[in-house]
Each structure stands twice: as C-alpha cells, then as structure tokens.
Amino acid sequence: MVQLEKVSKSFPQAPRLLDGVDISVPTGCRWGLIGPGASGKSVLLKLVAGLLRPDAGRVILAGRDMTAATEDEQNEVRTRVGMLFQNYALFDFMTVAENVAFPLVRRGGVARDEIDARVADRLRAVGLAGSEAKRPSELSGGMKRRLGIARATITQPEVVIYDEPTAGLDPVTTSKVYDLLQADHEATGGTVLAVSSDVAALRSFVSRIAFIYQGKLRYDGPVEHIEEAEDPVVRQFVRGGMEGPI
C-alpha cells in the first residue's frame, strides 16, 4: 500500500516541481504514471522510495511513514521494496549474478544455495541465463534493463517500482517485458508502480493510471476511462494530439 499526502517538492532549477500531490495505491494494484518529459515522474518515484525527502506532505510506503522515519528505518522498509532505475544503476564492480543476489544477501536469513537457486531462476525468467559471470559493462542496453528487473524482483517484494521499464526497446521486446512484469505480479500479488513514456504499452499492463502535468495530478483513476477524462490536457496527451493546451 502506497500513499502520498499533499506532497510537494522543489528544486533550485525546478521550483514547485510537485505541488500538493495526493496519491493512493491500494495493495495488489498495478498503478501507472504518465506525463510529459521533466514533469517530475522519476522524482515522484524517488519520493515514494524515500530516496528523496519531500518539502511538504507525507509518504507512506508498505504501511510505514517514510517521511518521519530515520535512514535505518527506511532501509528496513526498502528490504521489502524493489526498484528498477531509469539508468539501471547496476553495480559495475559486481558480476551479473552478484548484482541479482545482492538484495537477498543483504536481507539475510537465506542460505547460500537457496540464494544461488533463486538467482539462477530469476536470470532464466528474464532471459539472461548463462550470463552469470559477466560484468554489467559487457551487456547491451536491453540486457541491462532485464538485469535491473531481476535485481528488483529477486526478494519477491511487497512493492515494486519500475522507472521506464521499456524505454528505447522495440515493440516485441516491450511486450515481452510487460509479459514478464505481469507474470511476476501474478506470482507475488504485490503492489506495482510503473512510470513510462510509452503510454500505449503501459495502458495494457496497469489497472489504474495517473497523469501528472505542471506539478499536479490531472487524472488518477481506472485506465479504461482516461480517454474520456474531463481535463482537455489529459485527453490531448493520451491521444497524442498536436492541438490542445499542451
């Protein structure tokens, strides 16, 4: 369960990037976020993960108030959360297998051979079997992203956050990635937050979708109804039209 209550965030070069945003994602829901470039989507995900602190408002992640928590308490929550970063953020000083195993090793309480088995399993699921000993620098962009997904999901977390899971991928690979995300979600039943600039593909995956523009949420509801949204900005963006407020 993920909640944002009147969250605001400003940067020196982007004042009022997020302005009193309210979000409520129920447990088990697949929630998507779309919006124009530089509208604060990645920043919002980082606020959810507690990597950034909001200037105002509260963030509740997996039932815990992240805004009031210390770094140690936040770390404890994060062991139950997985995140795929926009630029993968893979550990370049570790091998592929070590990257995937890392969250599980840090969480503790799992035997070494169990860890190895689960790592092998994950790598097979994302199509990277056989690359265990490689370094991230030796992988292609698509492979790096799949490695990122494997690392984000190895602990079967309660909440998974995907920042641009299919950016720059061809349509076939895109649909394969979403098949994978769907299979993962059905297996674990956790909550999923996904940001994507590929609106069409994202719509096929999520059940609820939100649109952010100029610091505020202009739509947050079932994905089927977004095209008939009252807000003309939302309609223009979703339909990809050239004329309109944007």
Partner 1 sequence: MTELVERVGAQALGMVEAARGLTNVLVRTLARTFRRRRGEPGEVLRQMFEVGNRSLVFIAVTLGFLGMVLVFQSSLQVSRITGDPSPIGPQFFKILVHEFGPTLTAQMLATRVGAGIAAEIGSMVVTEQVDALRMCGVDPIEYLVVPRFIACMVMTVALTIFAVVVAFFAGALTAKLSFGVNPATFINFAEAKVGDVLTGLTKCIAYGAAIPVVSGYCGLTAGRGSEGVGSATTRAVIGSSFTVIVLDFILSSVGYFVFQGGA
The answer to whether the beta carbons of residues 24 and 70 sit under 8 Å apart is no
Minimum distance between the CB of residue 71 and partner 1, rounded to whole angstroms? 7
The answer to whether the beta carbons of residues 199 and 8 sit under 8 Å apart is no
Binding site for partner 1 (CB under 8 A): 46, 49-51, 71-72, 74-76, 78-79, 81-83, 85, 87, 89-92, 102-103, 106-108
Among candidate residues 181, 231, 179, the one with its CA nearest the CA of residue 210: 231
Closer residue to partner 1 (CB): 159 or 217: 159
Closer residue to partner 1 (CB): 27 or 75: 75
Minimum distance between the CB of residue 79 and partner 1, rounded to whole angstroms? 4
Closer residue to partner 1 (CB): 108 or 240: 108
Tokens (6 digits) for 99: 């990257």
The answer to whether the beta carbons of residues 226 and 234 sit under 8 Å apart is yes
Minimum distance between the CB of residue 35 and partner 1, rounded to whole angstroms? 21
Closer residue to partner 1 (CB): 85 or 205: 85
The answer to whether the beta carbons of residues 50 and 61 sit under 8 Å apart is yes
Place of tokens 């308490």: 73
Minimum distance between the CB of residue 192 and partner 1, rounded to whole angstroms? 15
Closer residue to partner 1 (CB): 106 or 225: 106
Closer residue to partner 1 (CB): 112 or 230: 112
The answer to whether the beta carbons of residues 202 and 196 sit under 8 Å apart is yes
Minimum distance between the CB of residue 218 and partner 1, rounded to whole angstroms? 28
- Alpha carbon separation from 126 to 86, 113, 131, 159, 186 (Å, rounded): 17, 20, 11, 19, 16
Which residues on adjacent β-strands are paired with residue 184? none
The answer to whether the beta carbons of residues 96 and 149 sit under 8 Å apart is no
Minimum distance between the CB of residue 89 and partner 1, rounded to whole angstroms? 4
